């Protein structure tokens, strides 16, 4: 590649807190800060841009709420 923009696939722990220009599948990110987030419900970790971290958090929240609602329905029906 002729430019110095990194790929979103090349991130590692050393990039946390750095500001980068990144090429991702959904667009070209300039001045993107690399962050690491951990899901409090299951402990899964994500490393990437805030944009993608937001998707990770929202996705996990939706998934765990879904999981919890399934458990609640099962309990209402008297358990498995
Ligand atoms: Zn999770």
Burial group, residue 72, by CB count within 10 angstroms (0-12, 13-18, 19+): exposed
| pLDDT number for residue 2 | 40
> What is the rounded average pLDDT for all residues in the chain?
90
Q: Give me the phi and psi of 43, to 5 degrees please.
A: 85, 0
Ligand 1 centroid to Cα of residue 47, in Å, is: 14
57 alpha carbon – ligand 1 mean position (Å): 8
Q: Rounded distance, CA 53 to CA 67, Å?
A: 21
- Coil, helix or strand at residue 44: coil
Asked whether 51 and 32 are in contact (CB, 8 A), the reply is yes
Tens digit of pLDDT for each residue in 35-61? Answer: 999 999 999 999 999 999 999 999 999
Cα–ligand 1 centroid distance for 3 (angstroms) = 36
Distance 70 CA to ligand 1 centre (A): 16
Rounded to the nearest angstrom, the distance between the alpha carbon of 36 and the centre of ligand 1 is: 14
The pLDDT value recorded for residue 50 is: 96
pTM: 0.79
């Amino acid at each position: 590649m002729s430019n110095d923009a990194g790929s979103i696939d090349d991130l590692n722990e050393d990039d946390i807190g750095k500001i980068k220009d990144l090429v991702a599948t959904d667009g070209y990110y300039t001045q993107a800060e690399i962050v690491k987030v951990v899901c409090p419900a299951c402990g899964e970790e994500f490393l990437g841009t805030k944009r993608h971290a937001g998707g990770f958090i929202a996705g996990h929240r939706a998934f765990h709420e879904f999981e919890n609602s399934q458990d609640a329905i099962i309990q209402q029906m008297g358990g498995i």
